[in-house]
Structure 1
Amino acid sequence: MYPELVTDALFSTDRLERARKAAADAGLDALIVTPGADLRYLTGYDALPLERLTCLVLPVQGEAVLIAPQLEVPAAQVSPAGSLGIEIAGWAETQNPYAFAAARLPRGLGAVGVDNHMWAEKLMGFRDALPGVRQELAGPVLGGLRMRKTPEEVEALRRAGDAIDRVHSRMGEWLRAGRTEREVARDIADAILAEGHDRVDFVIVASGPNGASPHAEASERVIERGEPVVVDIGGTMPDGYCSDSTRNYVLGDPPAEYAAYHAVLLLAQRAQTEAVRPGITAEQLDAIGRDIITEAGYGEYFVHRTGHGIGLETHEEPYIVSGSARPLEPGMAFSVEPGIYLPGRHGARIEDICVCTQDGGIRLNLTSRELGVLS
């Protein structure tokens, strides 16, 4: 679960120190982080989200401590958190875990940051254990750190991209006329694991009119010859970093209308990926593809943002969307996935994970973006 090859480089106390500084800059006295991507980012511990409290207590001034139920302490110790040199403190079944965690914080706190996905019951528990202490979302603090990937993180995303590319390259093994979307999706899910992922996060196999729904569920619909199929797949690698890539396929000759707008989509997506560079804003990058699609007459059918950040979660900051004036910076990793969806007929989406570099951008998904014509 925690391969030494990747965790040594990915998870270090440097993340804790940067989180401390960012919290202090935001006017917070401490961070409290429960199981999820934020905890894994800071400690490497992929903790189970249980009714029993697990959390990282990270004061701006003072020592970090990982609080866990006593029976979960061994799991925390064998995770990367065990090699960070931070204390792992277990609480007993009869103890109040919130009071136990609060006791590890300095006195006189004004404000603490809590992770955005903390369960409500745990938030209430900390409210009672820290009376008079203001609770704020830690998302702006931790999101600012997580969206700027280190070279080690980019390499982890590259491994994830390579793994999902290998699955797309095998699509001809499973995508055949007469099979249902669900049958194909099951085979793809098995391949995602076989190609190195630890977990399958999603498998969209959307044929014919189902392709007009961007987040269609694989169904019992039988795939027929001549029908376009949108395949959007992704998973989580053993190191916690995610993959996500979409390609379009057709069994036999595609409908002329579909081939025409897939060519427009390909032009738009290529223009966007080639425009990735430091300083361009998220909304400017979105507009590059959207304008091409609109000029071709399909603007009303591009119904979602251009992309989302990716890392320890499939969807995280930054979001490539109209209205976001956030400039891209080196290390930011995100999808570029314009789409065209014709209700009742078919749809298409082309998606690559891109990384902004010091002097431009790189794509982490390298399979052909052309329409995949299968026999």
Structure 2
Amino acid sequence: DEMRDAMHPGVSESEMWAALHAGNIKRGGEWIETRILSSGPRTNPWFQECGPRIMQEGDMMAFDTDLVGTHGYCCDISRSWIVGDVPPSDEQRTLYKVAYEHVMTNIDLIQPGMSFAEMTAKAHRLPEAYRALRYGVLAHGVGLCDEYPSVRYPEDVEEHGYSGHFEPGMTLCVEAYIGAVGGREGVKLEEQVVVTETGCETLSVYPYEQALLA
């Protein structure tokens, strides 16, 4: 809520990040591992830290919490929002819908006993235009910080993949970054889940953007 309240045209990326940090500390959290928040053209490619850029109306603003919160546990989700009270563009909607489908499809896929290789083989396949800038993993473990396992995209298995399978009680972050090479903006979404005896249970209750899914 602090970030939503702070987000409007004329505010810097760093001010937005400060709102997240303050909200974490206020709730008894500890610290934040990164500063990954960007807006407008700085959302493509991903992994740019927040800076002095002043956000403009209609910008896409995307962030990854990467915070160590209450009781020392990592809260690791990503969301992408539109700055200001304006409707999103068709391109922004397209990016967001692909990211959302990617994350939701892959969450629904995970089952206890499934191998990492099987998830890689069955996971939602990104459209060709977005594969070059894909995120580093389909999903990763999380506990006190980012942890085992790292489940890779098909393109990355040979170099970085390893064997293993999902077990009940594993906490995972399922991710998507959607942006085209040379595109103006990108969208980052990430959801935190726990593997149960029958599938996955979502741990975050923060909603997605209906205006971008319309």
Q: TM-score range by the shorter chain?
A: 0.7 to 0.9
Question: Partner of 1:348 in structure 2?
Answer: 187
Other structure's SS at 2:22 match: helix
Instruction: Look up the equivalent residue of 1:175 and give its one-letter code.
Output: M
Contact 2:64/2:78 (CA < 8 Å) preserved in 1?
Answer: yes
Instruction: Look up the equivalent residue of 2:42 and give its one-letter code.
Output: N
Higher relative contact order (CA 8 A, sep 6+): 2
Q: CA separation in 2, counterparts of 1:191 and 1:351?
A: 19
User: Which residue, out of 182, 198, 201, partners 2:30?
Assistant: 198
Q: CA separation in 2, counterparts of 1:334 and 1:234?
A: 13
User: Which residue, out of 285, 288, 291, partners 2:119?
Assistant: 285
Q: Does 1:225 align with 2:88?
A: no
Please, what TM-score do these two structures have when normalized by structure 2? 0.85
User: Which residue, out of 44, 47, 65, partners 1:215?
Assistant: 47
Contact 1:282/1:327 (CA < 8 Å) preserved in 2?
Answer: yes
- By how many angstroms is 1:255 displaced? 2.3
Other structure's SS at 1:231 match: strand
Mark the runs of 5 or more structure 1 residues left unpaired by the alignment.
1-168
Please, what TM-score do these two structures have when normalized by structure 1? 0.50
User: Which residue, out of 251, 256, 261, partners 2:95?
Assistant: 261
Instruction: Look up the equivalent residue of 1:223 and give its one-letter code.
Output: M
321-330 or 250-259, which deviates more:
321-330
Q: CA separation in 1, counterparts of 2:67 and 2:94?
A: 31
Question: In the TM superposition, what whole-angstrom CA distance separates every residue of 1:246-301 from its partner, at most 9, and x where no partner exists?
Answer: 0010022222112112111111111111112112222433454441x226x43333
Q: CA separation in 2, counterparts of 1:268 and 1:288?
A: 12
Q: CA separation in 1, counterparts of 2:122 and 2:176?
A: 10
Contact 2:141/2:148 (CA < 8 Å) preserved in 1?
Answer: yes
User: Which residue, out of 288, 304, 307, partners 2:136?
Assistant: 304
Structure 1 residues 301, 234: closer, same or farther in 2, change over 3 A? Answer: closer
Contact 2:3/2:16 (CA < 8 Å) preserved in 1?
Answer: no
Contact 1:249/1:372 (CA < 8 Å) preserved in 2?
Answer: no
Contact 1:332/1:356 (CA < 8 Å) preserved in 2?
Answer: yes
Q: How many residues align?
A: 202
Question: Partner of 2:149 in structure 1?
Answer: 318
Question: In the TM superposition, what whole-angstrom CA distance separates every residue of 1:124-167 from its partner, at most 9, and x where no partner exists?
Answer: xxxxxxxxxxxxxxxxxxxxxxxxxxxxxxxxxxxxxxxxxxxx
User: Which residue, out of 124, 127, 145, partners 1:294?
Assistant: 127
Question: Partner of 2:21 in structure 1?
Answer: 189
Contact 1:262/1:371 (CA < 8 Å) preserved in 2?
Answer: no
270-279 or 281-290, which deviates more:
281-290
Mark the runs of 5 or more structure 2 residues left unpaired by the alignment.
none
Q: CA separation in 2, counterparts of 1:287 and 1:174?
A: 41
Instruction: Look up the equivalent residue of 1:316 and give its one-letter code.
Output: E
- By how many angstroms is 1:310 displaced? 0.7
Structure 1 residues 335, 182: closer, same or farther in 2, change over 3 A? Answer: same
Other structure's SS at 1:202 match: coil
Structure 1 residues 355, 253: closer, same or farther in 2, change over 3 A? Answer: same
- By how many angstroms is 1:303 displaced? 3.9
Matched ranges for 1:154-193 at <5 A: 169-193=1-25
Matched ranges for 1:71-110 at <5 A: none
Contact 2:106/2:124 (CA < 8 Å) preserved in 1?
Answer: no
Q: Does 1:360 align with 2:210?
A: no
Q: CA separation in 1, counterparts of 2:25 and 2:189?
A: 22
